[in-house]
Amino acid sequence: MAAPSRTAAVRLSRLRPWRPQLFPSPLSPSALAARPSIYAPAASPCPRWHSNFSSVNPEEVSHFNALASEWWDPHGSSRLLHLMNPLRHDFIRACRTSAAEYTPDHDAELSYLDIGCGGGIFAESAARMPMTRRVTAIDPTPSVLAVAKAHARKDPSLSSKLTYTQTSIEELPVPASDAERYDVVSLFEVIEHVDEPAAFLERVRPFVKPGGWLVMSTIARTWMSWFTTNLVAEDILGIVPKGTHDWNKYINEEELRRYFLDKGWESPRVMGVVYVPGLGWKEVRGSEKVGNYFFGVRRAVDSDAS
């Protein structure tokens, strides 16, 4: 979680050019040869997803628990998420239709895994789509999940498609076959709240069906994003609750591209978006370099199941 609000001068004094350790700058061949890969899983007799690693940060859980009651208020602290939701679907559609072998019948009977679903804004909307077969939505935050379940009960038609579970990706049973994996796995406004993003993404991989998509939204780590999300949105305007963002956890698009390279993923796509007061979120090409953006990557059809 972000540190308590400070003045701009204090914040500027502590920020410096930085790269998260789990998404390093490219190293020379000699340096790579001399250094163990940080992406290699630790030696263990147990599968990766049963390791001691946890993507759940107790401080993050506490922060979002406190905001649970406002989740479905379109004019409350989650207003920007409600406004962004249509673009989530637009981006998923753009990703899926970009595949060379895509035909309209590929949209029949889609399955979704929404990780860090919060109050269910995306999960509910995905379950309502006629081509959706099932939506599994998970979140470790109990108060938020209670809000999501209560809201879903207002629409009985969702019960056959939508399942909420209070858990983390580490505790969710790994699918035993491709038929049980998901066409779309979503991480919307999630990865910038995870302490170890590379380890987290390793746990997510087995849940994506070969040919399926992993899609996410996050924020670039730039001076502009610090100014707009931390200083303006949280400290000055108060349109986002203080402590929601930690600038040091933001991830740049090129860092994600580098992470997924040569790991059984293909066809990375990106869409930069900008919030325009009075108009909502709008796609702006190139804005992924300075602020909010969507990122998607397709699991190669011939990738192994692990």
182 or 291, which is more confident? 182
- pLDDT value at residue 101: 74
Fold classification of 61-299 (topology level): Rossmann fold (3.40.50)
What's the token pair of residue 158? 């969702």
- pLDDT value at residue 17: 36
- pLDDT value at residue 75: 86
- pLDDT value at residue 193: 87
| Residue stretches of the annotated binding site | 88, 116, 139, 188-189, 192-193
Q: Look at residue 256 and tell me whether its pLDDT is greater than 90.
A: yes
Query: What are the domain boundaries of the chain?
Result: 61-299
SS3 230: helix
Query: Lowest mean pLDDT: which of 30-34, 182-186, 192-196, 238-242?
Result: 30-34
| Residue stretches of the annotated binding site for Mg(2+) | 189, 192-193
**pTM, to two decimals:** 0.77
| Residue stretches of the annotated binding site for S-adenosyl-L-methionine | 88, 116, 139, 188
**133-160 confidence digits (pLDDT tens):** 999 999 998 888 999 999 999 999 999 9
Q: Where are the alpha helices (DSSP H) in the chain?
A: 8-14, 29-34, 58-66, 79-97, 121-127, 142-152, 197-204, 223-225, 253-260
What's the token pair of residue 86? 């249509």
CA–CA dist 133, 281 (Å, integer) = 28
**109-119 confidence digits (pLDDT tens):** 899 999 999 99
